[in-house]
Amino acid sequence: MSRMEFGAFLAPHHPIGENPTLQFRSDLEFVSHLDRLGFDEFWCGEHHSTGWEIIASPEMFLAAAGENTARIKLGTGVVSLPYHHPFLVAQSMVQLDHMTNGRAIFGSGPGALASDAYTLGMDPMTLRDRQDEAIGVIRKLLRGDERFNYDSDWFTLREAKLQLLPLQENLPFAVASMISPSGMTLAGKHGTGILSIGSMSKAGLQALPTQWSFAEDAAKEHGNIVNRRDWRIVMFWHIAETREQARKEARDGLYRWRNEYTAGTLMQVGV
């Protein structure tokens, strides 16, 4: 029986007012520490507007992290596909895979923050469909198929073909999933892995037992296969000698994240 794998998923969050240069350096050192501890994966995401999550390009951050790590896999958690031309995303992931010696994982989403979409002047109702469309095009590009044209209402390709393919024969894909079935359904449609981010909330945890069926049904409909080993569940963890000590150590940081970020910045009261 294969062992369960463990990773770390961080935005990462840093309270407004901290030195951003030191934040980046601290986060890179943290990834190196995880590598030394034997963690299997590290994920970080793309954000643009709250001030708490200052990594705008996870590919750039992970390339830097790859220079000071040896074995840990490095995942984009996630690239917001509607914000980018799919050809450029594909090229960035190919470059990241080579720069990390074949350790890249491509995680994508429709965009996590409403404020990001607003800043970019994007209609939130179009984001999930654009992610779906972009994944299909990116997968075609990464297969190294013959040159092709593609016309969309938000991007165009002419005789498109990547000049370089990933180092890995099959670059791992993952789709972000929250509480609704849409993420699981999209993963099944394209036969990708899943990154269940919604499981960090009570409602998300309660939804997990029924979500896998959405991925399986969509995979069957589109002639694909999904594997539970490619299903990553994201949860809050803090490890200490005892349960009481862990709760005590985590309390202050969790309260600050809940009150200042979730309620104060995102205005999500009651989450």
Q: Do residue 132 and residue 17 come from a single domain?
A: yes
Between CA 112 and CA 107 the distance in angstroms is 13
Q: Is residue 139 part of a domain?
A: yes
Residues 183-207, mean pLDDT to the nearest whole number? 91
User: What is the distance between the alpha carbons of residues 137 and 149, in angstroms, rounded to a whole number?
Assistant: 10
User: 187 pLDDT band (50/70/90 cuts)?
Assistant: very high
Alpha-carbon dihedral sign for residues 145, 58, 8, 263 = negative
Q: What is the CATH number of the domain that holds 60?
A: 3.20.20.30
Per-residue pLDDT at 33: 98
State the pLDDT at residue 205: 86
DSSP for residue 41: E
Quick check: 44 and 10 in contact, CB under 8 A?
yes
> Would you say residue 109 lies in a domain?
yes
Q: Which residues sit opposite 8 in a β-bridge?
A: 42
Specify if 153 maps to a domain.
yes
In this structure, the answer to whether residues 118 and 246 fall within a common structural domain is no
- Each residue of 213-235: pLDDT tens digit? 999 999 999 999 999 999 999 99
Note whether 65 and 162 are same-domain residues.
Answer: yes
The model's pLDDT over 26-74, given as tens digits with 9 standing for 90+, comes to 999 999 999 999 999 999 999 999 888 999 999 999 999 999 999 999 9
Which of 125, 149, 171 corresponds to the end of one domain?
Answer: 171
Reference 148, options 107, 90, 108, 225; nearest CA is 90
How far, in Å, CA of 85 to CA of 232, rounded?
A: 26
60, 104 in Cβ contact below 8 A? no
Tell me the residue range of the domain where 114 lies.
7-171
Structurally, how many domains does the chain consist of? Answer: 2
Task: Assess whether 166 and 258 both reside in one domain.
Answer: no
Instruction: List all residues 6 or more positions away from 223 whose beta carbon is below 8 Å from its beta carbon.
Output: none
262 and 146 fall within a common domain: no
**Residue 146 and residue 247 in one domain:** no
Q: From CA 121, how far away is CA 115, in angstroms rounded?
A: 10
Tens digit of each residue's pLDDT (9 = 90 or more) over 114-153: 899 999 999 999 999 999 999 999 999 999 999 999 999 9
Provide the whole-model pTM.
Answer: 0.93
pLDDT at 265 over 70: no
Domain end call among 126, 154, 171: 171
